[in-house]
Structure 1
Amino acid sequence: MIIVLNKNDQNTIAELQEHFGNTHEVFVHHNRVAVQGIKEADLSASERAAATDIITNVPKAVQGSREFHPEDTVIRTKHSIIGGDNFTMMAGPCSVESEEHIAKMAAVAKANGATILRGGAFKPRTSPYSFQGLGEDGLKFMRKAADEYHMDMLTEVMDDEHVKMVAKYTDIFQIGARNMQNFSLLKTVGKTNIPVMLKRGMSATVDDVLNASEYIAAGGNHNIMIVERGIRTFDNKYTRNTLDVGVVPVLQKLTHYPVIIDPSHASGHTEFVTPLALAGVAAGASGLVVEIHDDPEHAFSDGPQALKPNEFKDLSDKAFAIRELLSTGMPMEQAEAGR
């Protein structure tokens, strides 16, 4: 149940917390108080009198719900603003391969509008014999490259034991699709103040990913973004996964967290990355996270889905143009001419 108060009524909020805090979960957001598992009849007369609205049909993911938190969450890092009316480009190689290579890819990403450098130092691979990442050395190389090009750093953390180490380097934690329901990991990053990019699992429903986000929020960390990276369907003959473009407006209706599109993992093939990315932008996504590589055929991981620098430039130019069109109703050239 969500109790909407006349204003930020601290006396009533304190009363609700004292009344239910020992037996139920109580969440407070401005003038809204959510209490899990109660009915209107459980409220005292003064609590009912202080409410302007009582919402009984409350989603399980209370803290991520629009009903509880109507305004958009906007995540602010040193170099980026994610969510709300902002559009954020994130790019980099699948894996950090060397100090020189990640610096080279950071330069490409920055030159084409990205403010966040992505890359993996620890790689969860289908085969145990595939490249598993450079570990902490990869984190150091990536941090240096991000700082050199005045970018934020986004990298995956694979288990709760690594959170403390990865936190020394990264600006944003990535929780990969395979770890979306690693509840121990979600609880651990939830206890930090570092933003979290949560990827939807390959077989996860909308409710599954929203409930996963609740594990992070319940720890006190509300700087969460949700990534659609394709789900598994009955047909994966031509693409790696199936991009659920429709989930963008669905999630934006249900939750206040920014919704990001990962067209690289959705497609699995370079030729499909740009069309899927643009579809996500047109659907209203708050940003893109894209894999790039200057020599995909010799990439240590996921080369077939990486864009070459010129291909990434093409995607980036079109993505920003679409976003400008959505924002202003006119192409970027016309918008710039009118300034």
Structure 2
Amino acid sequence: MRKTDLTRRFLLLLLLPLAAVVPLYLDAFRVEQITQIVAIAIAVTGLNLLTGFTGQVSVGHSAFFGVGAYVTAVLMSQTNLTYPLAILAACLGGLIVGFMVGLPAVRIKGLHLAIVTVVLAAAFPGIVRMLEPWTGGSQGIRVDRLDYVAWLPLQSDQWRFYVTTTVLAAVVLAIAVLQRRPTGRALRSLGDNEVAAVAYGVRATRMRVGVFAASACVTALGGSLFVMSSGFIAPGTSYVTVLGSIQFLTAMVIGGRSLVFGPLIGAAVAELLPLQLGQESPELAHLLYGAILIVLLLVAPNGLTGTRLRSLLPQRLRRPSPARLPKGLSTASSLTKQGDLS
């Protein structure tokens, strides 16, 4: 087993007990804040599912986040639907909208896809305001937050934290399993070299639409849990506007490609750093935030979880690393033993 795998597993084992005790030693406000960060991390994981596998960049995932949030809020406020069913409905809504957007966008790549998706993000708040009888328009919707279970010795904020964290763990586990399956390798081959992938039998259209819909579904799940934690959603909420899409992209870039720690670290930095800077210096908050992001990208171009400490040292202080073969020699070699990829 490689040293990096051992380190990753050790950190995961360390994270589990830490996550279990966090809500027991913090006040309710901090627990709610961390819960919302975890919900945002789920949305970032959904975006990372799209970008990490196929290399497509979407600036419209705030719309999918909003779909999940509003489906949950409308169902909870106007019906007697239970929390689990509302979450499932939100995921289904995100899946359908993602499929509808992904189908025409399958032939669009790169900058053109980013432009198309940013239009979706910009249009979503206006659509919400048009549906005022159901969505509450500019006033938004208030819903009852996810409450505690009577037979568990937990407060409501602690229960919401554990539910959201468990969902994040389940999503990460599902994506980790997908990575090791032929479908996951086929998706990665599309991002590496689509021509070679198609030559080896990968059905590019089906794969791209499917991963786009799955990415939207996971992001909608994050929006659903966000509403159940905050108890309020409105078209002015930053996460359902273009600003939210930019924040998701920023969190993904800051965190890096790590499946577990990347979205968590990126969401925490993107959520907490602007708030802290705004408290310290409201006039210079945006300038300082931009400067810090530039420094982070220069120091860690692969994200905070994708940069080794050795690479941050001056060249003369680095120890030469042993030569090793690349993880995958080529797209063709990664597809040779896969069989049917459809």
Q: More relative contact order in 1 or in 2 (CA 8 Å, sep 6+)?
A: 2
Structure 1 or 2: more helix by fraction: 2
Indicate the TM-score class for this superposition, using the shorter chain for normalisation.
Answer: under 0.3
In the superposition, the TM-score normalised over structure 1's length comes to: 0.23
